[in-house]
Chain A
């Protein structure tokens, strides 16, 4: 079992004909992911790499192919529209990889899709991977830009705001023989479609997940909110790491959402809340898997 996607999930890609979208679509196909459709307005009838049919819009792509999830690689000025189109088409899962979407666009998107059945992951995220059982985890569902081979099918859930830190955690787990149920990059933007808490609730309910690694960073209070819920409700062991102990206040550290403002969003406050909730917090990023193994 896993959350959000299973190895047989049918995926469509919005922005499949762009160089970035195309490259990662190919990598997903190589990984064994069922990429069944691409969407680029005006290019209906063409095929991606002679195999994946391209449609003008999400609704017809989903209707014709049965896709239930979408990966969005559309450039930032057009990405909000792409998300709304995917939600309007009734997809179950929309994963927005695009970095650099204006905050105001995401405020509108989030308000507009509230109450819909679609779950949005991202934007500005590495995506979602449910590893397969083949060699180097082949045969899994890879949505986004994460390297597939670092994964291993198993029962640890990973949720993170950072791409490369997710890869670090996954690789540490895999090297220690611990596989993953699903790895979710929720993204580094200040207005995320899903929060740590949203994903942790899913892991908590997933019979295929035994333990959780939650990776956060400075900015906002999503980690504190997740920690409070975990303290009261979570049935599974949780380990964590927070990046940005040395980040200067008032500066945006790469990610649009990684900023300490008005004394809020510090790494110290997050680590304190997590430790108070009984979460095993790694002292350095090299010890994320170790921090989980201590409490499994």
Chain B
């Protein structure tokens, strides 16, 4: 589960990480009053940032032509005007796709004077099954680009999960970033806080980009998390009620939310061949087979191990809501399940949804002969297939017809 920047900063602040002062809001008037307080506290600049689960916000363009989802403002009036232009408006960034994303929330924060920028992230190192801290002297840019062009700028540290991050390790990382003097302590404290956030919140990733040396009006310097991104392990939400409440359904595809209500794992793609499969690996492999025979999969859909009539019906309803779909492939390996039960479920679901599109069904496994007979006797115009390869070829041909 992804969090908004303002939510990520709330969690970070809770674990001792320095973040620029500010608050989220949903109206232009609120934005103005938050900004007024920040200016009254002596801030020279206030930054206004749209809150969407997508990168490239600064360079995004709104559908009405208004440019940029991040603005530095010198006055509360300016904040009000820009907030009004962005709230409710839909922005397209390099990550949103053409449909773009509607803006519901803004973060109004103090516009810090930035002296230097770095990168810091905590994630799982799958090779060692340990937490991994990645830090880079180059911040504010795409880390994958830095890894390509200047890999020496990136420092990596594995943390023993049973001991946790040790203070000396945090200091070493701060030094590796080029920090010196008092900033080593400020940096080490922040790094320790970011690690603690990752661990305590069951995050799958915490990314601070940029991590900055910021200068106060009095000339003193400190280290702060100027932007932040956090993803949480969905399987651990049962022990984080507060974080579970941060879920923003506006940011999730409607059909995917709908599918999750039926315990279906659905991901919408751009093709026109829908597929319903039991098991995640087989579902991916079915998409691959469709592509292999020249088609484009419309979705990933794992109906789970049981593939009950209710689930298959819900699955049909969901894929049918995708207007691109021209043909459907059902691919079930009925291991424990009786294939005849599955076949009856497919027939019932096709009837309940008054399915008109070509339907190719490949059943294999337990009691498959009876299952195939049920399909053949159903009166539905469905197309049978004995192997996955044959099924993929047939459904691709139907979608192209």
Find the A residue at minimum CB distance from B201: A104
- In the bound complex, do residue A111 and residue B388 qualify as a contact, i.e. CB atoms below 8 Å apart? no
Residue of A nearest to B391 (CB): A286
- In Å, the complex CA distance between A198 and B327 comes to 42
Cβ contact within 8 Å between A284 and B267: no
Kindly state the separation between the CA atoms of A238 and B13 in the bound complex, as whole angstroms. Answer: 51
Q: Name the residue of chain B whose CB is nearest to the CB of A264.
A: B126
B162, A108: Cβ atoms closer than 8 Å = yes
Contacts of B283 in A (CB 8 A): 253-254
Q: Is the CB of B389 within 8 A of A287?
A: yes
Residue with the highest number of chain A CB atoms closer than 10 Å, among B267, B281, B284, B287: B281
Binds A, one of B39-47, B127-135, B184-192, B375-383: B127-135
A286 touches B280 (CB 8 A): no
- The answer to whether B288 touches A258 (Cβ under 8 A) is no
Q: For the complex, what is the distance from the CA of A112 to the CA of B239, rounded to whole Å?
A: 22
Find out whether the CB atom of A103 lies under 8 angstroms from the CB atom of B202: yes
Please name all residues of chain B whose beta carbon is closer than 8 Å to the beta carbon of A188 when the two chains form the complex.
Answer: 280-281
Q: Tell me whether A256 and B388 are in contact in the complex, defined as CB-CB below 8 angstroms, given that A111-B129, A243-B288, A247-B300 are known contacts.
A: no
Q: Of B79-87, B168-176, B289-297, which stretch is located at the interface?
A: B289-297
Shortest distance in angstroms between A278's beta carbon and chain B's nearest beta carbon? Answer: 22
Chain A nearest CB: distance from B244 CB in Å?
13
Chain B 153-207 residues near chain A, CB threshold 8 A: 160-162, 199, 202, 204
Nearest CB in chain B to that of A255: its residue: B280
User: Which positions 144-174 of chain A face chain B at CB distance < 8 Å?
Assistant: 145-147, 149-150, 160-165, 167-168, 171
Which of chain A's residues has its CB closest to B390's CB?
A286
Chain B residues with Cβ below 8 Å from A168 are: 282, 285, 333, 364, 388
In contact, A163 and B131 (Cβ under 8 angstroms): no
User: Cβ of B5 < 8 Å from any Cβ of A?
Assistant: no
Taking a contact as CB atoms closer than 8 A, the residue among B144, B199, B280, B335 that contacts A258 in the complex is: B280
Instruction: Check if A110 is an interface residue, CB within 8 A of chain B.
Output: yes
Are B366 and A164 in contact, CB atoms less than 8 angstroms apart? Answer: no
Chain B: which residue is nearest A105 at the CB level? B236
Q: Most chain-A Cβ atoms within 10 A of its Cβ — which of B131, B235, B389?
A: B235
Closest to B236 in A: A102
The chain A residue with its CB closest to the CB of B281 is A162
- The answer to whether A247 and B287 have CB atoms under 8 Å apart is yes
Knowing A107-B161, A285-B388, say if A164 contacts B287 (CB, 8 Å): no
User: Which of A108, A150, A171, A287 is within 8 Å of B161, CB to CB?
Assistant: A108
Which of B131, B235, B280, B300 has a CB less than 8 Å from the CB of A76? Answer: B235
Given A145-B336, A253-B283, the answer on whether A103 and B302 have CB atoms closer than 8 Å is no
Q: How far is the CA of A157 from the CA of B364 in the complex (A)?
A: 22
Bound-complex Cα distance A248 to B233 (A): 20
- A222 contacts across to B, CB distance below 8 A: 126
Contact status of A164 and B335, CB under 8 A, knowing A107-B161, A248-B269, A253-B300: yes
The tally of residues in B whose CB lies under 8 Å from a CB in A reads 54
> Are A191 and B291 touching (Cβ within 8 A)?
no
B interface footprint on A54-83 (CB within 8 Å = 1, 0 otherwise): 000000000000000000000011000000
Indicate the member of A112, A162, A257 with the most B CB atoms within 10 Å.
A162
Q: Please, how many angstroms separate the alpha-carbon atoms of A254 and B130 in the complex?
A: 23
Asked if B392 is at the interface of the complex by the 8 Å CB criterion, the answer is yes
Q: Which residues of B contact A108 (CB under 8 A)?
A: 161-162
A110 to B158, CA, bound (A): 15
A217 CB contacts on chain B under 8 angstroms? 281, 284
> Do A251 and B267 touch across chains, with their CB atoms under 8 A apart?
yes
* Residues of the A chain whose Cβ atoms lie less than 8 Å from the Cβ of B390: 286
Select A162's contact among B279, B366, B388, B392, beta carbons within 8 Å: B279
With A107-B161, A108-B162, A254-B302 in contact, is A165–B285 under 8 Å at CB?
A: yes
CB distance A101 to B235 under 8 Å? yes
A164 and B126 contacting across the interface, CB-CB below 8 Å: no
Which chain A residue lies CB-closest to B160? Answer: A111
- On whether the beta carbons of B126 and A220 are closer than 8 Å, the reply is yes
| Measured CA separation A218–B346 after assembly (Å) | 29
Q: Is B124 an interface residue (CB 8 A)?
A: yes
> In whole angstroms, what is the CA distance A218 to B365 when docked?
26
B278 within 8 A of A: yes
| Residues 239 to 272 of chain A near chain B (Cβ within 8 Å) | 241, 243-248, 251, 253-258, 262-263, 267
Instruction: Identify which of A100, A171, A251, A284 contacts B289 (C-beta below 8 A).
Output: A284
A221 touches B (CB below 8 Å):
yes
Which residues of chain A have C-beta atoms less than 8 A from B389's C-beta?
Answer: 284, 286-287
Q: Using a CB-CB cutoff of 8 Å, which residues 227-284 of chain B contact chain A?
A: 233, 235-236, 238-239, 265, 267, 269, 277-284
Q: How far is the CA of A189 from the CA of B392 in the complex (A)?
A: 28
Q: Is A27 an interface residue (CB 8 A)?
A: yes
Q: How far is the CA of A279 from the CA of B312 in the complex (A)?
A: 37
Question: Residue B387 at the A interface, CB < 8 A?
Answer: yes
Contact A191 B388 (CB under 8 A): no
Q: Which residue of B lies closest to A104 (CB)?
A: B202
- Whether A104 and B126, one on each chain, are in contact in the complex, defined by CB atoms closer than 8 angstroms, is no
Cβ of A92 under 8 Å from chain B: no
Does A206 sit at the interface, judged by CB under 8 A?
no
CA distance A285 to B238 in the complex (A): 36
A245 adjacent to B233 (CB under 8 Å): no
A183 CB to closest chain B CB (Å) equals: 12
Known: A108-B162, A147-B335, A147-B366. A253 touches B129 (CB 8 A): no
* CB–CB B282/A285 < 8 A: yes
5 A-B interface contacts by CB (under 8 A): A107-B130, A147-B336, A191-B129, A243-B281, A284-B289
